[in-house]
Copies of this chain bind each other. A is one copy, B any other.
Amino acid sequence: MERKKLGAQSIRFAHPPILLASANVVGKKEGEGPLASTFDLIGQDDKFGQNSWEKAESEMQKIALNTALTKAALSTSHLDYLLAGDLLNQCISSSFAARGQDIPFLGLYGACSTMGESLLMAAMLLDGGFGQYAAAVTSSHFCSAERQYRTPLQYGGQRTPTAQWTATAAGAVILGTEGEGPRVTGCTVGKIVDKGITDAANMGAAMAPAAYETLRTHFQDTGRSPSYYDLIVTGDLGKLGSEIVREFFHKDGVDLHHHHDCGLLLFDLEGQDVHCGGSGCGCAAAVLTGFLLDGIRRGKWKKILFCPTGALLSPTSTMQGESIPAICHAVSIEG
């Protein structure tokens, strides 16, 4: 059997799966941001025709998946696997979206790292010989997340300067073993890192050490320097978390000048009042499935390292005074 493991935590795919198509659906606010032209559908009332925010979020996943399938000229019956997850308790956005779609389903939980986790696991299943087509889908919704994690929207709570704005967004990618498109050439599976941050309104700081560890391990495992990539994109560390990661690398004598962050790309930080930037599973998903993959397809970048980060806390763990475990997975995508 071909050796696919590189170093401690990384994989080089023997037959890199192809990103055949991608699609996204976002809310009104996201559609007013700088990436507006990269979205397939911008909702006008964040309800998407449903009578609850939770159902709206499921609907966004369904639309994203079916739009991506249409672009790939495939139907749900072609899919060997659907890998999906979200932020809601018991991941109901994903399981209710998958209900009635008739696709073998594998539910994931990686908080805001889910687009990375689902993408690398889908790639592993295809490269491992377990099927021909797989979909990776994730979502978040400002309204469903805000009332679950923080306070009812009607309460009008003041946001702290380090807070991020949960994106109302869903993204879907279709991977195949054959066809045309960018390829998933490798990945680094993250470990849980917890440096003792207990402030649930400062998730950038909680997740930055996980991003640093995964990136450092990726470069070590693959023998690559950051300059191998045209763009290194974390998601969603936001403003503060991104500064921390660059500072960590600066201390190592490594310049991460071509680093960007999905949380900073999705919104206009000055004009849209989102404090430290965007967050939520849908943030990295919407940026990947639009801006990033479009850029690779158009030749703007050849090699991207996509590194979504997740804060694995819950309101219960926060109320019990626990610090925030975080994770980051890195996925190499090459045009």
- Over the window 253-270 of chain A, the binary record of Cβ atoms lying under 8 Å from chain B Cβ atoms (1 yes, 0 no) is 000000000000000000
Partner of A121, one of B103, B121, B148: B121
In the bound assembly, the distance between CA atoms of A98 and B194 in angstroms comes to 11
Residue A109 interfacial (CB < 8 Å): yes
Residues of chain B contacted by A92 (CB below 8 angstroms) = 312-314, 316-317
Residue A28 interfacial (CB < 8 Å): no
Residue A154 interfacial (CB < 8 Å): no
In the bound assembly, the distance between CA atoms of A276 and B141 in angstroms comes to 37
Residue A104 interfacial (CB < 8 Å): yes
Is A5's CB under 8 angstroms from B316's CB? no
Pick from A41-49, A127-135, A229-237, A298-306 the stretch touching chain B.
A127-135
A212 to chain B, nearest CB (A): 15
Residue A151 interfacial (CB < 8 Å): no
Residue A106 interfacial (CB < 8 Å): yes
Is B127's CB under 8 angstroms from A128's CB? yes
In the bound assembly, the distance between CA atoms of A82 and B3 in angstroms comes to 20
A52-B320 in contact given A15-B1, A124-B124, A194-B100 (Cβ < 8 Å): yes
- Over the window 290-327 of chain A, the binary record of Cβ atoms lying under 8 Å from chain B Cβ atoms (1 yes, 0 no) is 00000000000000000000001111110010100101
Residue A88 interfacial (CB < 8 Å): yes
Partner of A85, one of B102, B109, B189: B109
Residues of chain B contacted by A190 (CB below 8 angstroms) = 104-105
Is B54's CB under 8 angstroms from A320's CB? yes
Is B192's CB under 8 angstroms from A99's CB? yes
A201 to chain B, nearest CB (A): 16
Residue A4 interfacial (CB < 8 Å): yes
Is B91's CB under 8 angstroms from A312's CB? yes
Pick from A11, A89, A313 the residue with the most CB of B within 10 Å. A89
In the bound assembly, the distance between CA atoms of A278 and B178 in angstroms comes to 45
Residue A107 interfacial (CB < 8 Å): yes
6 shortest A-B CB distances, which residue pairs? A128-B128, A90-B314, A95-B312, A104-B189, A107-B109, A109-B109
